[in-house]
Chain A
Amino acid sequence: MAQIFRPSANSVAKLSLICFAIGVPTVWLAIAGLSRSPANTKQDVPLNQPVPFSHQHHTWELGIDCRYCHTSVEKSSYAGLPSTETCMSCHSQIWTNSPMLEPVRQSYETNTPIQWNLVNKVPQFVYFNHSIHIARGLNCNICHGPVNEMQITWKGNSFQMAWCLQCHRAPERYLTENITRPGQSPREQVFNLYWELQKKGVKGLTIKQRDEARGEFTGSDDAEDLAKGRELVKKYGIKVQQLADCGVCHH
């Protein structure tokens, strides 16, 4: 009976074992990496809009408060997008002939809403609520990135569950106080950052505030900050043991 395998089959068998050992984790890692990359999460990818609205111009250069347009951010789960009426509050007088604003005028005249492209979204089985995060003193940029520097808005963070859990598992790393007037509630402190940014510029801020303003704040491990954070967790009555439970976000 003739041999089924030639001597070289030994090498092929060894090689295929090695390929299998390397290949499977490689494919697995590639898929994991891809699902976390901006190609999938759309993080840091500016999204085209019917009107090229610049947050940088409106908030940073003109100093308009976030809440002028996002009126319901403090009291509702939705931050709220400005209605065409809000745009026209100023643009009925300013840049009235600008071709960029044609969709806004069109919308106002025909009473049909502008269809913006959604930049920040979570799956519909996630019940995110803006107002509670504001009420605990977390400012916009911690989640949304450096909005005040965005010419065209992009998604500041991946909004994947692992990202949410960084804070939900250790809120003391993220909670801070930014009091500029006595007796300010955490909700009021949120917007101090933007006023201070207006008054002092980026260079006038503390290092932590600067990180926050640039959307680079990913929690503090400084002993003093942590102690303060723990104190705030207690003060606000945050139940840390339950904060990472499924039902908190997935009702």
Chain B
Amino acid sequence: MNLKTKSAILGFGVLALAGCNTDMWRQPKQEPLDASEFYADGAANRPLVPNTIPRGYARQDDAYYVGAENGKWLDGLPAGIKVNLALLQRGRERYNIYCTPCHGQLGDGQGMIAHRGFTLKRPVGNYHTDRLMKMPAGHFYEVITNGYGAMFSYASRIEPQDRWAIVAYIRALQLSQSASPSDLKPEELQSLSAKNETHDRLAQK
């Protein structure tokens, strides 16, 4: 084998090995939730600089973003929210994701997690008690935003718009659980009783 052949084989070998190069697989950039050796807490995600507000987050409308105005909870929904079927459906969807684990699908505080031990220390809120039936809507918004008792804040998980949708749906739940069969049209009664166990229970009363 002469030198030319040897260097040709070596050259091809090196080229073939270049295929194993994974520089591009892990690039010198940070993706969300990456670890970082640079920051002290080991996370690439950075918390907000204290006393700053991100662009677009200047939330000055207290009624909408706090649920209270002039130190009083808002009774009803803020001006920017229109109650319609789409809002209630969105509210039901978000409620079923974030609230049912504890509050249950009926809002009676009998969710799965409540049964798994949350009640041992403090019972989970039941929307159908007198106290919560009379509570202004702003209270529910504020509880979702800041938490209450053993309940954590859900502000980082639920957007303000969705929080109001959930509040609207909680009102619908309250209405549903204190409704009497006479509130319904006969044809609604018929179609419901075929499907809905809850309604069956009401109808028997």
Contacts of B93 in A (CB 8 A): 188
Q: Choose from A62, A83, A112, A188 the contact partner of B112 (Cβ within 8 Å).
A: A62
Contacts of B98 in A (CB 8 A): 65, 68
Q: Is the CB of B118 within 8 A of A86?
A: no
Q: Kindly state the separation between the CA atoms of A83 and B32 in the bound complex, as whole angstroms.
A: 12
Q: Given A85-B152, A113-B41, is A78 in contact with B116 using a C-beta cutoff of 8 Å?
A: no
Chain B residue, CB-CB nearest to A113 = B43
Task: Classify chain A: how many residues form its interface, as a range.
Answer: 20 to 34
Q: Is the CB of B152 within 8 A of A89?
A: yes
Distance between B154 CB and nearest chain A CB, rounded to angstroms: 8
Q: Given A93-B117, A124-B25, is A78 in contact with B33 using a C-beta cutoff of 8 Å?
A: yes
Chain A residue, CB-CB nearest to B27 = A124
**What 1/0 mask marks residues of chain A from 190 to 206 whose CB sits below 8 Å from any chain B CB?**
00000000000000000
Q: Kindly state the separation between the CA atoms of A59 and B66 in the bound complex, as whole angstroms.
A: 32
Q: Is the CB of A62 within 8 A of B42?
A: no
Q: Kindly state the separation between the CA atoms of A86 and B43 in the bound complex, as whole angstroms.
A: 17
Q: Is the CB of B101 within 8 A of A62?
A: yes
Distance between A204 CB and nearest chain B CB, rounded to angstroms: 16
**What 1/0 mask marks residues of chain A from 39 to 81 whose CB sits below 8 Å from any chain B CB?**
0000000000000000000000011110110010000001011
Q: Is the CB of B97 within 8 A of A67?
A: yes
| B26 interfacial contact with A, CB 8 Å | yes
**What 1/0 mask marks residues of chain B from 13 to 45 whose CB sits below 8 Å from any chain A CB?**
000000000101111010111010000011101
Q: Is the CB of A111 within 8 A of B121?
A: no
Q: Is the CB of B156 within 8 A of A85?
A: yes
Q: Kindly state the separation between the CA atoms of A235 and B153 in the bound complex, as whole angstroms.
A: 39
Q: Is the CB of A113 within 8 A of B157?
A: no
Q: Is the CB of B116 within 8 A of A94?
A: yes
**Interface positions of B from 77 to 100, Cβ below 8 Å from A:** 93, 96-98, 100
| A123 interfacial contact with B, CB 8 Å | yes
**What 1/0 mask marks residues of chain A from 116 to 131 whose CB sits below 8 Å from any chain B CB?**
0000000111000000
Distance between A85 CB and nearest chain B CB, rounded to angstroms: 6
Contacts of A124 in B (CB 8 A): 24-27, 29, 31
| B133 interfacial contact with A, CB 8 Å | no
| A18 interfacial contact with B, CB 8 Å | no
Q: Is the CB of A123 within 8 A of B33?
A: no
**What 1/0 mask marks residues of chain A from 94 to 128 whose CB sits below 8 Å from any chain B CB?**
11000000000000000111010000000111000
Q: Kindly state the separation between the CA atoms of A13 and B45 in the bound complex, as whole angstroms.
A: 64
Q: Is the CB of B32 within 8 A of A65?
A: no
| A-B CB contact pairs (8 Å), 20 listed | A62-B101, A62-B116, A64-B101, A65-B96, A65-B98, A65-B100, A68-B157, A78-B31, A80-B33, A83-B156, A88-B152, A89-B151, A89-B152, A93-B120, A94-B113, A94-B116, A94-B118, A113-B43, A113-B45, A124-B26
Residues of A within 8 A of B (CB): 62-65, 67-68, 71, 78, 80-81, 83, 85-86, 88-90, 92-95, 111-113, 115, 123-125, 188
Given contacts A85-B156, A115-B42, 9 further A-B contacts (CB under 8 A): A63-B101, A64-B101, A78-B31, A83-B156, A90-B118, A93-B150, A112-B43, A113-B45, A124-B24
Nearest first, the 8 A-B pairs at minimum CB distance are A123-B25, A65-B97, A94-B117, A89-B152, A124-B27, A113-B43, A67-B97, A71-B157
